[in-house]
Amino acid sequence: MVQYSHPRFDASFAALSDHTRRGVLEQLGRGDTSITELAGKFHMTLTGMKKHVRILEDAGLVATEKVGRVRTCRLGRRQLEQEMAWLAKYQALWAARFNALDKLVEEMT
């Protein structure tokens, strides 16, 4: 089997694979928030939330800034255009296959 390596995609999809991290991105879409506030909203420890934020930060999806004792999170500059284009190719492929299957089933009935 051929293995393709695309570290950026791996980091993006790994970050998005967890429902808490997707929720954090949704929350940050509404505005900047401290890690402490995020931990409270998601009913988890500060240490646990820091781990989630670090994974999102490593993927470029979140940026943090520390001012005094408060670390504030905001959406990162990186967008997911390349990942969306990759998914769109497969969406088109599957749509074509399902259309062909629909046509075959229709011919058989």
Residue that is written with structure tokens 């980091």 in the block: 11
| Of residues 74, 91, 75, the one with CA closest to residue 33 | 74
The pTM assigned to this predicted structure is 0.78
Classify domain 1-77 by CATH architecture. Orthogonal Bundle (1.10)
Q: Cα(67)–Cα(69) distance, rounded to whole angstroms?
A: 6
pLDDT, greater one: 41 or 109 = 41
| Of residues 16, 28, 84, 96, the one with CA closest to residue 56 | 16
Q: How confident is the model at residue 3 (pLDDT cuts 50, 70, 90)?
A: low
Q: Cα(26)–Cα(20) distance, rounded to whole angstroms?
A: 10
**pLDDT computed for residue 39 by the predictor:** 97
Strand partners, 75: 62
Strands 70-75 and 33-34: antiparallel
Backbone angles phi, psi at 11, to 5 degrees: -65, -40
